Amino acid sequence: MDLTEPDVASIDVDVARLQDAVRDATRVVPEGARTQWEVGGAPRAGTLVRAPAGVVRYEPADLTVTVAAGTPFEHLAAVLREHGQECPLDPRDARATVGGLLSAGLSGHRRLRLGPLRNWVLEVRFVTAEGRLVKGGGPTVKNVSGYDLPRLLVGSLGTIGVLTQVTLRAEPLPAASQWATTARPPSDVRAELFRPSSILFDGRRTRVLLEGEPADVEAQLRAGALEPAEPPAWPPGANRGRISIAPDRVERLGARLTNAGARWLAEVGVGTVHVAGDTPETLTAAREAAAEHGGWLLREAGAPALDPFGVPLPNFGLQQRVKAAFDPHGKMNPGRIPAIDPDPAREIA
Amino acid sequence: MHDLVNDLRAALGTDRARAEPLELALYARDAGVARGRAAAVCWPSSTDDVAAAVRIARRHGRPFVARGSGTGLAGGATPVGDPVVIVTTHMNRVLEVDTANRVAWVEPGVLNLDLTRSVHHLGLHYAPDPSSQQACTVGGNVATNAGGPHCLASGVTSTHVLALDVVLADGSLARLGGLEPDQPGYDLRGCFVGSEGTMGIATRIAVRLSPDPPAVRTLLLGFDSVDDAAATVSGIIAAGIVPAALEMMDALITRAVEDFVGAGFPRDAAAVLLVELDGLPDGVDAQIGAVRAVASERSARTVRVAADEAERALLWKGRKSAFGAIARIAPDYYLHDAVVPRTRLVDVLEQVYAIAGEHRLTVMNVFHAGDGNLHPLIVFDAREPGIWDRVHAAGDEILRACVEAGGVLSGEHGIGLEKREAMPWIFSADDLDAQARLRDAFDPTGAANPQKVLPAGSRCGEATRVPEGAWI
Ligand SMILES: Cc1cc2nc3c(=O)[nH]c(=O)nc-3n(C[C@H](O)[C@H](O)[C@H](O)COP(=O)(O)OP(=O)(O)OC[C@H]3O[C@@H](n4cnc5c(N)ncnc54)[C@H](O)[C@@H]3O)c2cc1C
């Protein structure tokens, strides 16, 4: 498929088929590239559905791009790169589909400068449990016309609807980009830098990603006494999770994680801590450490017996009402946010 | 009515609720044109007070409307359905400045500019800067997802709100979002921001504070044609530069502002652009060079870089005084707000002038050009017979032209009462039904700021009826 010459008509046909499939199914399991298949609870058996793929519209001068939700991120990135632009969804695995990335809602490592994933989404189109095609948001870079359905969909793990198409904001690619490292503590480094793209800390070394004008990157390297380095590796291990915690608690938490035998890498200033271990027990220990510091751990991979979130959903009643408003019978991707599924006793057979 | 006020007084304090004709008149509208009528007005001083006021309103079978400073332009705070108006202006404390997390917790009645001033000594600021920032509240900003000139690169309000304590329509409390980067479940914080008071009342708000940039430079560009100015906007973006701010003023407004403040704008230019670049010094210099190049390609005849902070402040004073300046030209104005793709700015602006011309109206344009957010401003004298019809007709046509160009109904003022009926121009029945479901999930009672945002009939199966109490 040539993504720069999309066949919008065929995408429409696919969407119409998807609507039928969703409407007729008793349980709908949206599937992207399965790069984050273990995020959230395990999916239940049901009708697997996929969104179409392809770039629908790309206006480089508007810095906006509309893609079908099944488009692999790497294809989107390639199309944007031809015009010196990017959409910094920053997946770990570039084969991830755009729709899957947004549904999982996990932001990338440049969140410090570029903000969370949800900030890049302008418009969503999704198929509801009843098979209706719904649009929320709008295609322009600024918009307050109506309720923010895009933000509802981001991170909803397919439990509200199946994303079929999204419009995203794009950015000029930075002219220069450099990872660097230092043994100095991350908070000192952060105080000296202006809008670093990322500051990562593993308890020993601070790693920084600087992006922007070449002269600025050079100046920041000098200001922070930073040594150029290779990009860091994510903590390895079959059992992985990410902790969310108030940013000022990251360093204290890190010491606890090390004691618990976890490998970890913290996004300084953001409050995301990536954790990995060889055994499921490591994640359990990391989860306890996170809770002690007021955070929580999302299980991302491995440790199948571990609860995916480990904490009750905040504002449970409100969350339930939102879910029930869109999917009263719980047919959309049951199991992924287990607490939100309607009472199994009332569930349709 | 007396019982209602007495109950409010008993809960909030004797001086904290009124229903005298003067108050009811003062709170009958916001800065937009729609009028309504309140049953009572109250001024809570705490979250508990707000919850009490909501419960009392409900007990008396009345809806409630949150109100900040009433600078909204879409009728969002206009009371419809004889509600209790709950004014947040006494809840105006900055509760906590957390420098380690670069977060401030504020009450909803804190004025936008006061927040930025309160953290200035720390080298921090609150990024969203609506032109009304001296007067509008952070709570109102949250409810309208307000923007401002400096939201081009840094994002509008939603980008800067981390957590909210809200009073829901049943009087219960909820904390939406948090200081930790992610929460399990749905992004309720994201749903609430921009909901125009229809999902509840924000009583404590955690906002992100941004570090002041080391270097800030402001350029004034003058052009002989609006087209060249608009094309320069697209050219700057296409050159890979997203300025901190990129504002445009046409000839009429430039002259009005110049007469008013003497900011040094070229009085004979057909349009001027204000371009602000910020960041590290070398990068800012490089970007100034690039912007100059784009401007000269488009035959800019004034290219001035503000020499110092005083000159820069004066240029911005000019831009932010635009509305004050207009009062000198005509007694009344109607300010519109719509967004078009940046690439369509040139042709949409041409249509805006043509539409105003056809209706024999004067239109001025002063707007956030960098993100395609138009603010056509129709100036008139409301005493002229029949003028309102022409003003409304022209406004509708302008909005239609924006939508036809692939735009949306509002970039920052919101839908409120003003644009409810236009929602079907961009949303299908199914789209509106989905929005209604989200709104109703937050407020199953329908008591929070009723009849705003969604047109009657948005819920599938809902009968269409003419709203009561709204004079538009
Ligand atoms: C001269 C002028 C210039 C302007 N420039 C801009 C601009 O550049 N950018 C921009 O975005 N807007 C602008 N505005 C519009 C207006 O200032 C904004 O919409 C602002 O956010 C409104 O704040 P407020 O405190 O006045 O809110 P109000 O007008 O009192 O209320 C606005 C809405 O918010 C709701 N609300 C208020 N407080 C709360 C709360 N605590 N919880 C829940 N809901 C609440 C109300 O019910 C209403 O729906 C301008 C207005 C004027 C008059």
Percent of chain A topping pLDDT 90 = 93
Instruction: Report the DSSP pairing between strands A64-68 and A272-277.
Output: unpaired
Nearest CA in chain B to A338: B185
* Cα B243 to Cα B21, B55, B73, B149, B189, distances in angstroms: 48, 46, 27, 10, 28
Closest protein CA for atom 50 of ligand 1: B132
Which of A141, A198, A292 is the best mutation test for B, with the most CBs of B within 10 A?
A141
CA distances from B236 to B288, B304, B374 (A): 10, 16, 18
Which A residues 159-218 touch B at CB under 8 Å? Answer: 160, 171-173, 175, 194-195, 212-213, 215-216
| pLDDT for A250 beyond 60 | yes
DSSP 8-class letter at B368: B
- What residues does each domain of chain B span? 2-87, 94-211, 215-323, 330-439
Q: What is the CATH number that goes with domain B94-211?
A: 3.30.465.10
**Do the beta carbons of residue B180 and residue B67 sit within 8 Å?**
no
What pLDDT is attached to residue B134?
Answer: 93
Q: How far is CA B419 from the centre of its chain?
A: 14
CA distance B44 to B90: 7
Question: Is residue B69 lining ligand 1, measured as CB closer than 6 Å?
Answer: yes
DSSP string for B160-174? HEEEEEEE-TTS-EE
Q: Which residue in A292, A283, A298 sits closest to A253, CA to CA?
A: A292
Poorest-confidence range of B325-329, B368-372, B385-389?
Answer: B325-329
pLDDT score, position B463: 46
Whether A270 has its CB under 8 Å from any CB of chain B: the answer is yes
Ligand 1 lined by B133 (C-beta under 6 Å)? no
* Mean pLDDT within B275-286: 95
For residue A127 the two structure tokens come to 């198929």
User: What is the value of pTM for the model shown?
Assistant: 0.96
Mean pLDDT score of chain A, rounded to an integer?
94
- Residue B447 CB contacts under 8 Å (≥ 6 apart), including other chains: B54, B57, B58, B62, B63, B64, B169
Q: Is the CATH number 3.30.70.2740 carried by domain B330-439?
A: yes
Average pLDDT, chain B: 94
Q: Look at residue B327 in the predicted model and tell me its pLDDT.
A: 78
Query: CA of B36, closest CA in chain A: separation in Å?
Result: 21
Q: Which residue has the higher pLDDT, B332 or A273?
A: A273
Q: What is the pLDDT of residues A113-161, one digit of tens each?
A: 999 999 999 999 999 999 999 999 999 999 999 999 999 999 999 999 9
What percent of chain A is modeled with pLDDT above 70?
96
Q: Do A154 and B190 touch (CB under 8 A)?
A: yes
Chain centroid to CA A210: how far? 22
The pLDDT of A2-30, averaged and rounded, is 84
Q: At residue B319, what are phi and psi to the nearest 5 degrees?
A: -60, -45
Which candidate from A145, A271, A294 shows the least CB-CB separation from B181? A271
pLDDT digits (tens, 9 = 90+) for A193-204: 999 999 999 999
Mean pLDDT score, B409-438: 97
Q: Say if the Cβ atoms of A152 and B187 lie within 8 Å.
A: yes
Q: Supply angle C-alpha B276, B281, B282, rounded to 5.
A: 110
Q: Under an 8 A CB cutoff, do B180 and A246 touch?
A: yes
**Is the CB of B243 inside a 6 Å radius of any atom of ligand 1?**
no
Query: Given this model, what pLDDT does residue B238 score?
Result: 85
What pLDDT is attached to residue A347?
47
CA distances B218 to A314, B86, B247, B279, B310, Å, are 44, 40, 11, 12, 11
Q: If residue B203 lies in a helix (H) or strand (E), which one and from where to where? A: strand B201-208
Render pLDDT for B48-96 as a digit per residue (tens, 0 to 9).
999 999 999 999 999 999 999 999 999 999 999 999 999 999 999 999 9
Q: Is the pLDDT assigned to residue A106 strictly greater than 80?
A: yes
How much distance in Å is there from the Cα of B364 to the middle of ligand 1? Answer: 22
> What mean pLDDT comes out for the span A4-32?
88
Tokens representing residue B202 in the block = 């924000």
Give the range among A55-64, A105-114, A162-171 with minimum mean pLDDT. A55-64
Fold of the B215-323 domain = Alpha-Beta Plaits (3.30.70)
The CATH number of B2-87 is 3.30.43.10
Alpha helices in B213-280 (DSSP H): 226-238, 251-261
pLDDT category, A4, cuts 50, 70, 90? low
CB-based contact B342 A62, cutoff 8 Å: yes
CA distance B67 to B27: 9
Q: What is the pLDDT of residues A23-82, one digit of tens each?
A: 999 999 999 999 999 999 999 999 999 999 999 999 998 999 999 999 999 999 999 999
**Beta carbons of B339 and A143 less than 8 Å apart:** yes
Residue entry with tokens 């995301």? A272
Alpha carbon distance A125, A162 (integer Å): 8
Position B461 scores a pLDDT of: 60
Burial B415-434 (b: 16+ CB within 10 A, else e): bbbbbbebbebbbeeebbbb
Q: Which residue of A has its CA nearest to B454?
A: A146
pLDDT, tens digit, 9 for 90 and up, residues B445-472: 999 999 999 999 888 766 444 333 333 3
Q: Is B148 in the pocket of ligand 1 (CB under 6 A)?
A: yes
Domains B215-323 and B330-439 belong to one CATH topology: yes
Q: With contacts defined as CB-CB under 8 Å, which chain A residues touch B345?
A: none
> What is the fold, at CATH topology level, of the domain defined by A8-172?
3.30.465
The verdict on a CB contact (< 8 Å) between A212 and B186 is no
What's the DSSP call for residue B224?
A: S
pLDDT of residue A49: 96
Q: Is there a contact between B342 and A141 if contact means CB atoms under 8 Å apart? A: yes
Among the partner residues B406, B441, B453, nearest to A146 by beta-carbon distance: B453
Asked if A94 is an interface residue toward chain B (Cβ–Cβ < 8 A), one would say no
B-contacting residues in A 247-266 (Cβ below 8 Å): 247-248
- Give the Cα separation of B239 and A305 in Å (integer): 51
Fold adopted by A239-301: Alpha-Beta Plaits (3.30.70)
Domain ranges for chain A, please list them: 8-172, 176-228, 239-301
- Cβ atoms of B283 and B241 closer than 8 Å: no
Q: Please identify, by atom number, the ligand 1 atom nearest to the C-alpha of residue B142.
A: 21
What pLDDT is recorded for position A344? 60
B251 pLDDT more than 80: yes
Q: Would the pLDDT of A83 be above 90? A: yes
Identify whether the C-beta of residue B107 lies closer than 8 Å to the C-beta of residue B95: yes
Is a pLDDT exceeding 60 seen at residue A349? no
- In angstroms, the first-to-last Cα distance of chain B is 25
- Residues A82-94 have a mean pLDDT of 96
